[in-house]
Structure 1
């Protein structure tokens, strides 16, 4: 398949491959995507977006916005509700020129959902925050101070955000829902392969002798890219957010950790720290 390693070449490869699949109205074309086209932004438009939202895109993010950015169609998501099938039109990748309300809502949701996990749902309390206060006001002060230090988190699609920091060697994309923070790619290339996996024809059907069934598996070239991207590198870091990522798991291989250390087995969704509370 020869997936380009250069980001610019890769983004054009994504554009050509997805638009080709979307150009044919058959069972391989996901619902809502027939004849869809990517809508890149000009340098001037990107500059205008930065001023409007008071953000500063990394070079990698700017390149994505110039070549891909968003599509001119709505994704159709089907689900069952009380026995009735519902088809709903949804935004695919956020359009920074048209989806202002959705983008602002997403940015606010990051804060609200995290604070909700601290305040009520999971009663999250990070080790760096020290003794857990009884006072709700003091808890919020500590949380707000920590949140204010996070790198900018810029929405891309659904719960996925770009960690917007020019000081990092890696520029990861993370999925955030409250304290549940997952790295979905340490760079745009890996993230897009993951996010667009159903639109790129990168699976093959492999027959399972035991089940006597075919199962889809990523082709070797793509699986190798994922494996390489998630290898440990001491430069892989996300200031402040890393501690939240590790709160629910000490097994993040990208941080050089393992679910199964010597003589122990740590389940991935178990808290790694239980806070001491004020008496």
Structure 2
């Protein structure tokens, strides 16, 4: 399979491949809610207007994504069980900047709220660069607010996924956030979209397991190799200020192609990499 390396070609490849998958009325290949779905790209004028309205600045790669893909004209159907009852909900897939004003505005506030909650919640997050942890809640908030003011803008894509908006970064990372647990989805839009849309791209093959005597789906080698290459260690990979938060938990080290192993541990659980000294 040929997966374009040029971003523009790749985005059109995503558009063609996903819409082809969604054109088949069969839930074994077309995820629920996506039958007949089409991408809705934006014009340059629309993107300029959105930047003014929301006071955001899209990177050139993000603008390219918005012009070719942006959002789809269908809702995602999500089913889950609650106390024995199957609940079905319609959810926004990628945010539509022309329609999802309330969702977008609320989501733009979430990174601050999530991180601040983890600082004062059960996780007691405190970064090394912040120094000794003050007893005063007011002082802790002052230190956090100063730090957060330097974090690059995080622009919503879908759910808890955010594009790091800094045109001057060599890499263009996309992250997923849940409190202080910040996970990298890809160091560029190409890797991110292959990761996010893996169930919409027909990029799996069935591989027979001799032990279980059954077939299991595995991502094709071309995509696996792209993931492996994208997440390799490279000293140029950085997300100003947010990098320290990502690496605060041992699982975050993989984002930068590193490994963290607590001393003398046979099993390596996700642990804090720094325990703050607190005021007496």
Q: Is TM (by shorter chain) over 0.5?
A: yes
Structure 1 counterpart of 2:25: 25
Alpha-carbon offset, residue 209 of structure 1:
1.7
Alpha-carbon offset, residue 260 of structure 1:
4.5
Does the CA-based 8 Å contact 2:246-2:252 persist in structure 1? Answer: no
Q: Deviations over 1:92-146 (max 9, x none)?
A: 0001111111111111111111100001131100000000000111111111111
Does the CA-based 8 Å contact 2:183-2:252 persist in structure 1? Answer: no
The number of aligned residues is 279
Structure 1 counterpart of 2:270: 269
Does the CA-based 8 Å contact 1:260-1:266 persist in structure 2? Answer: no
Structure 1 counterpart of 2:217: 216
Structure 2 counterpart of 1:227: 228
Structure 1 counterpart of 2:42: 41
The runs of at least 4 consecutive aligned structure 1 residues that moved more than 6 Å come to 261-266
Alpha-carbon offset, residue 212 of structure 1:
2.4
- In the aligned structure 2, how far is the partner of 1:47 from the partner of 1:158? 23
Q: Is the partner of 1:121 in helix, strand or coil?
A: coil
Does the CA-based 8 Å contact 1:31-1:75 persist in structure 2? Answer: yes
- In the aligned structure 1, how far is the partner of 2:220 from the partner of 2:257? 25
TM-score for both structures, normalised by structure 1: 0.96
1:54 is the counterpart of 2:55: yes
TM-score for both structures, normalised by structure 2: 0.96
Cα RMSD after superposing both structures = 1.6
Structure 1 spans left out of the alignment, 5+ residues: none
Does the CA-based 8 Å contact 2:182-2:252 persist in structure 1? Answer: no
Alpha-carbon offset, residue 159 of structure 1:
0.7
Structure 1 counterpart of 2:258: 257
Does the CA-based 8 Å contact 1:259-1:268 persist in structure 2? Answer: no
Q: Deviations over 1:166-218 (max 9, x none)?
A: 11000100001110000010000000000000000101111222222322111
Does the CA-based 8 Å contact 1:250-1:257 persist in structure 2? Answer: no
Alpha-carbon offset, residue 57 of structure 1:
0.6
Deviates more, 1:209-218 or 1:183-192: 209-218
CA pair 111-251 structure 1, distance change in 2 beyond 3 A: closer
Task: Give matches, 1:1-279, under 5 Å.
Answer: 1-27=1-27, 28-249=29-250, 252-260=253-261, 267=268, 269-279=270-280
Q: Is the partner of 2:21 in helix, strand or coil?
A: helix
Structure 2 spans left out of the alignment, 5+ residues: none
